[in-house]
Structure 1
Amino acid sequence: MRILLVEDSQRLTGLLVERIHDAGWRVDVFSTIADARTALREGSHDLLLLDLGLPDGDGTDLIRALRAAGSAVPILVISARAGIEQRVAVLDAGADDFLLKPFNHAEFLARCRAMLRRAPSTAQPILSAGQIRYDPATTLVTMAGQSVAMPPRERALLELLLRDAGRVVLKRRLEAALSEYDEAVSANALELSVSRLRKRLETQAADIRIDTIRGVGYMLRTIGSP
C-alpha cells in the first residue's frame, strides 16, 4: 500500500510517517498543494492524507479538483478546523473522512485501515505462491496458515514478487516501487533486501524461492516448478 501525506507540520509529519511505516505501508510526503498535484499525477497512491491549511492554498480546493477530474482516491482529511460547517463543507467537496487534530494515533491507523478496506482500488485478492499467502489489505503474511513476521520493506518486496510470480521482475521496477520520494532504494539496498527475504523464507522452510536473473532482475517461483 502506498500513501500520500500532504502536511506542512514537520513534527506531525515525522510522527505520522513513523506510524505509517510501523503499519507496513509506504508513504510519500509533501507540504504543498502544487507538489501533491504532481505526485497524484505521476504516482499510484491508495490513500491521500490531507491537511487543509497548506502554504499555497486550501486543501478543500484540491479535493474538489480531484473529484471533478474523476479521481476516486480515498481522502482522509486531518485538520485542526473544528467547526461543524467546515467539516461538512470538506465532506461535501468529496473527502471520505475527517480526523480532527490533535488525534490518537491508534485511531488514525484504524481510520486508514478502514478506508483502505473500503476502497475499490484496494479490494484486491489474496496473493499466493506455494504455501505463502499475502493479504494486501491487512499486510498479513502466512505460510501453511501460520503468521510470518516481516519488516515492512521485506513485506513490500514479497508483495511485488508475488504479483508477478513465475515472471521476471526488473531491478529498476523494484527499486522504483520500494523507493519513497525522500529515500531512494539503491541497487545495493535492493540486493540486501532480497538476501534478507531469501534467508527468512529459508528459515520458514517456505516452498518458494527467489531466483536472480543476472543483470535483469528477480523471479519468485515455487520450488519444483520449471
Structure 2
Amino acid sequence: MNTQIQGPIPHLLLVEDDMTSQGFFQFALESLPATVDVADSFASALQRAESGHYDLWLIDVNLPDGDGPTLLQRLRVRHPRVSALAHTADASTETQQALQQAGFSETLVKPMTRETLLKAIRRTLAKSAVSSDIDDDAQVPHWDEAVALTALNGQQAHLRALRELFLSELPVARNAVAQALDQHDLVALRNQLHRLQASCGFVGALRLARAVRQLHNNPELPSARQQFDAAVKALMD
C-alpha cells in the first residue's frame, strides 16, 4: 500500500515523553515522507510551535508537565488552523469523546500499528488541505467567461441559453446531491456530481465546479457540503 503523501512535504510536531514510543513514531514516520520535530514536554512543545510552522501536531495526552487537551488549547491560540491527533494508552470511550470535544481530529490508542498511524495522518492532512481550499474559495469567481466562450467559439447568445438551462436544472441536481448525502449513498452521489461537474464546465461555473470536486473527494467533510450549498445558492439567488 502506498503510504506517501502527495504534494509539499508536511512538517509534523511529535509531542511524546516516552523514549520507546518516540522511537516507534519516528521509525513509522520515516516512510511518509515528512519533516518531524520532537518535543518531550508541554513546555518544549510550546517552544517548538513558537519557532516554526507545523501542518500537524501529534500530541500525547499525558505529559510530565501538563496534559494534551490543555496543550492543544494553548497551541490553537496562535495557530488556530493546525490539525491535531491525540495518542494515548487509554482506550475508553469517555476519553476518546473528551479528546474529540477538546478539538483533536482523531485519537490513536497505543500501541498502534504503523499502518494505523500513517492512515490517520494521511486522512487528517488531506482534510486540512481541503479546508484550506475552502477557506480560499470566496476569492474564486462564480463564472469563468473566457473558458465558457472559448468552448462555444465566442457565441454569447449560446452561452446565455446554456446558462439559463443550467440554472433551471440546478435545483434538481442540488436536491439529488442532498438526498444522496443524507442517505450515505456514495454511488448515487458521485454519479450526480460527475454530471454536475461536466455541466459546470460547459457554462463556466467556476466556483461551483471547484465545490463539486471538493465534495466528490471528501463527501464526509461537513465543510465541503457547506461550500457546495453556498456555491449553488450564490448562483440561484
* 1:98 partnered with 2:101: no
Question: Which structure: larger Rg?
Answer: 2
Q: Is the 8 A contact 1:6 1:50 kept in 2?
A: yes
Amino acid at match of 2:37: D
Amino acid at match of 1:84: T
Which residue number corresponds to residue 2 of structure 1?
A: 11
CA-CA distance at 1:122 after TM superposition: 8.8
Q: Is the 8 A contact 1:7 1:50 kept in 2?
A: yes
Q: Deviations over 1:63-107 (max 9, x none)?
A: 222335552211010111222112111111111111111111111
Which residue number corresponds to residue 53 of structure 1?
A: 62
CA-CA distance at 1:120 after TM superposition: 3.5
Which residue number corresponds to residue 62 of structure 1?
A: 71
CA-CA distance at 1:7 after TM superposition: 0.4
CA-CA distance at 1:50 after TM superposition: 0.6
Amino acid at match of 2:31: D
Q: Is the 8 A contact 2:28 2:114 kept in 1?
A: yes
CA distance in structure 2 between the partners assigned to 1:102 and 1:13 by the alignment: 12
CA-CA distance at 1:62 after TM superposition: 1.0
Q: Which runs of 5+ in 2 are unaligned?
A: 1-9, 134-237
Residue-pair matches, total: 124
CA distance in structure 2 between the partners assigned to 1:68 and 1:40 by the alignment: 11
2:30 aligned counterpart, secondary structure: helix
CA distance in structure 1 between the partners assigned to 2:99 and 2:131 by the alignment: 23
Amino acid at match of 1:35: S
Matched residues, percent identical?
31
Q: Is the 8 A contact 2:14 2:36 kept in 1?
A: yes
1:22 aligned counterpart, secondary structure: coil
Q: 2:88 aligns with which of 79, 83, 89?
A: 79
- CA shift in 2, pair 1:37/1:121, >3 Å: farther
Q: Is the 8 A contact 2:49 2:75 kept in 1?
A: no
**Aligned CA-pair RMSD:** 1.9
Greater fraction of residues in strand: 1
* 1:21 partnered with 2:30: yes
2:101 aligned counterpart, secondary structure: helix
CA distance in structure 2 between the partners assigned to 1:65 and 1:2 by the alignment: 19
Q: Is the 8 A contact 1:5 1:27 kept in 2?
A: yes
CA distance in structure 1 between the partners assigned to 2:28 and 2:109 by the alignment: 17
Task: Kindly report which structure 2 residues correspond to 1:62-211, keeping only aligned pairs within 5 A, or say none.
Answer: 62-69=71-78, 71-120=80-129
- Give the structure-2-normalised TM-score: 0.49
Q: Deviations over 1:129-171 (max 9, x none)?
A: xxxxxxxxxxxxxxxxxxxxxxxxxxxxxxxxxxxxxxxxxxx
Amino acid at match of 1:19: A
